[in-house]
Amino acid sequence: MTSYTPKNILITGAAGFIASHVANRLVRSYPDYKIVVLDKLDYCSNLKNLNPSRSAPNFKFVKGDIGSADLVNYLLITESIDTIMHFAAQTHVDNSFGNSFEFTKNNIYGTHVLLEACKVTGQIRRFIHVSTDEVYGETDEDAVVGNHEASQLLPTNPYSATKAGAEMLVMAYGRSYGLPVITTRGNNVYGPNQFPEKLIPKFILLAMRGMQLPIHGDGANVRSYLYCEDVAEAFEVVLHKGEVGHVYNIGTKKERRVTDVAQDICKLFSMDPQSNIKYVENRPFNDQRYFLDDQKLKNLGWAERTTWEEGLKKTMDWYTSNPDWWGDVSGALLPHPRMLMMPGGNEKHFDGSDTRDSESRFVNKSIASQASATNPKGIIPQKAAVKFLIYGRTGWIGGLLGKLCEKDGIQYEYGRGRLENRSQLLSDLQLVKPTHVFNAAGVTGRPNVDWCESHKTETIRTNVVGTLNLADICREQGLLMINFATGCIFEYDAAHPEGSSIGFKEEDTPNFHGSFYSKTKAMVEELLKEYDNVCTLRVRMPISSDLSNPRNFITKISRYNKVVNIPNSMTVLDELLPISIEMAKRNLRGIWNFTNPGVVSHNEILEMYKNYIDPSFKWANFTLEEQAKVIVAARSNNEMDGSKLKTEFPELLSIKESLIKYVFEPNKKT
């Protein structure tokens, strides 16, 4: 049997879940080994995970990205690294369906950079590559023998595909350049310190909050779970006894359905499973079962030590004792989380303090202490730990956003810099340190879009250059930007005729070029598609309950002598602006038609105005041809397809229902 003794080990991703347990174990058990850990501190990493090692003389932490070849080469040489344990990866399957390129970048390119550095320096004696059981694909439900290390790789989702791709690179460098590589493929791992996008910590935190546990599909999917300390011991065995060029499964034959896991957690919290488990929409593809043959690793002397009941109890005790370990995790606790992958997502100091401001820390600790005093099971209320930087203070939407933040107790500040001034924007970000940026600034015209026809350079400067400037800086800083755009970039056509209920979808190409304002908005929207950190919200003909506001669409048309009568999609801000805040918390991205479902015509709105506000109100109609004689730029009329937003927020009302509930009923005078 092989026996290997390392000297200087580089562990990538060591502020994450599994790697932190491995790093702490090696630092504690082998004082003669130097352990250098490299982590970029993404959203699912936390420096506090490494607290047990912080004072050890054989421990060193380096913040950085494995994608930086210069940094990796520098570390290998200056730290005389002879062993690499490569854990760093994006691992959450739900995220991979919505952000697959980020998985390719981290999991494949990052691995390639490490391998190339090993080849160039020529000093590595072991390269342990950490993969996953998911590369095997789905196991037959009736299979009695698990996948062995020579089984075919048949990944079924973007995450597992990138891990399989990384494995191919590792194998190639082993064969072509003689790198001493070893690969591991593990079952699901659970235990303390795990970011709660994963099933067990998510269910525990939801149970602590007294909330329902969401199960994808029918809950019959089967998984195998290993306790983190057992897995850390497995890596210790592979490090010292693993054969170069071999693959080792780290697994258990003790399988559980997802439903069984939820029921066991309900039992620990004395919750009724019938009323506290809910079944939600399944993933685009959800493997039914992963089953491993783990005999090869057992032959090296490793064995699972922790029973399911013991491990689950330890895990529950840890989370109830450390409810604020991860800060605000409301986005991760959704049935289908979409976390924004950001460098520095959860950077913590070794003294246990958060890099957020002291007021946030005080509020969080107060809530935790109240929870422990009043709830013996550790049930705590949800809390907001986000901070918004909002541009567009003097604008209508920007002003309303600030009021909503005040109402909901959300920290926020308005940006002081001009969008076209990059240095001012950077100064704002450094000063405020936001978690999200809202862009509600833009030129719509004074008093309307006709102004833009004679002020084209000013319109370009703000609507195009400024918006791109802010998006680019936010991307550099790893921040999500919620961008309030417009749906006035479409007009009814043969494929989307008026009255057909066929709306323009998010992926449709803009077809309205009648105003310079709309041209700039369509132009910047197309360019923003290249920024994966932007959530574009297409607002149309915005309406609010404030009927005195001159920008309110109802206020406008109620003051006109004549109006056209065309059905249009519209945005009721009282209902949709709170949704924009929730979208930020969920870290949603891409283009969204930000309108209430359905259409409403000018006459229908004015009829409601007459019924609810002013019974004596009268108006007259005129045609589009007549309207064209009194305006400079043409106006957009269209129906937007609201199904994407409605799917994400099923409670969203149709435009007519929303108008009555949020606008006319509160202002009712008749």
Sequential DSSP letters for 622-653: --HHHHHTT-SS------B--HHHHHH-TTPP
| Angstrom distance (rounded) from CA 471 to CA 513 | 24
Residue 262: per-residue pLDDT? 95
| Angstrom distance (rounded) from CA 335 to CA 647 | 13
Per-residue pLDDT tens for 198-219? 899 999 999 999 999 999 888 8
Per-residue pLDDT tens for 461-496? 888 999 999 999 999 999 999 999 999 999 999 999
Please choose, from the candidates 3, 2, 47, 7, the residue with its C-alpha nearest in 3D space to the C-alpha of residue 26: 7
**How does DSSP classify residue 59?**
E
Q: How confident is the model at residue 445 (pLDDT cuts 50, 70, 90)?
A: low
Residues facing 84 on adjacent strands: 10, 127
Q: Is residue 411 within 8 Å of 386, Cβ to Cβ?
A: yes
Q: Which residues contact 530 (CB under 8 A, 6 or more apart)?
A: none
**Residue 394: pLDDT above 60?**
yes
Q: Is residue 89 within 8 Å of 134, Cβ to Cβ?
A: no
Report the predicted TM-score, pTM, of the whole model to 2 decimal places.
Answer: 0.54
Residue 331: per-residue pLDDT? 79
Structure tokens at 89: 């990866």
Q: Is residue 471 within 8 Å of 532, Cβ to Cβ?
A: no
Top pLDDT among 174 and 331 is at: 174
| Angstrom distance (rounded) from CA 169 to CA 414 | 47
Pick the catalytic residue from 39, 102, 133, 149.
133
Residues facing 539 on adjacent strands: 486
Residues facing 186 on adjacent strands: 132, 250
| Angstrom distance (rounded) from CA 631 to CA 564 | 13
Pick the catalytic residue from 39, 42, 94, 134.
134
Average pLDDT, the chain: 87
Q: Is residue 297 within 8 Å of 303, Cβ to Cβ?
A: no
| Angstrom distance (rounded) from CA 295 to CA 147 | 11
Bond preceding residue 273 cis, omega within 30 of 0: no
Structure tokens at 176: 């072509």
**Residue 576: pLDDT above 50?**
yes
Please choose, from the candidates 248, 241, 244, 239, the residue with its C-alpha nearest in 3D space to the C-alpha of residue 149: 248
Residue 327: per-residue pLDDT? 86
Range in 80-94, 201-215, 260-274, 397-411 with the lowest mean pLDDT: 80-94
| Angstrom distance (rounded) from CA 340 to CA 585 | 10
Q: Is residue 514 within 8 Å of 636, Cβ to Cβ?
A: yes
Range in 91-100, 257-266, 552-561, 576-585 with the lowest mean pLDDT: 91-100
Q: How many other C-beta atoms are found inside a 10 Å radius of the C-beta of residue 510?
A: 19
Per-residue pLDDT tens for 11-54? 999 999 999 999 999 999 999 999 999 998 887 889 999 999 99
Has 133 been annotated as catalytic? Answer: yes
Pick the catalytic residue from 159, 190, 248, 412.
159
| Angstrom distance (rounded) from CA 643 to CA 641 | 6
Q: How confident is the model at residue 248 (pLDDT cuts 50, 70, 90)?
A: very high
| Angstrom distance (rounded) from CA 400 to CA 380 | 30
Residues facing 411 on adjacent strands: 387
Q: Is residue 424 within 8 Å of 385, Cβ to Cβ?
A: no
Stretch 485-510: mean pLDDT, rounded? 95
Q: How confident is the model at residue 345 (pLDDT cuts 50, 70, 90)?
A: very low
**Residue 549: pLDDT above 80?**
yes
| Angstrom distance (rounded) from CA 153 to CA 147 | 10
Structure tokens at 578: 């709170």
| Angstrom distance (rounded) from CA 208 to CA 268 | 11
Has 134 been annotated as catalytic? Answer: yes
Q: DSSP characters for 491-512?
A: ---SSS-TTS--PBPTTSPP--
Residue 548: per-residue pLDDT? 87
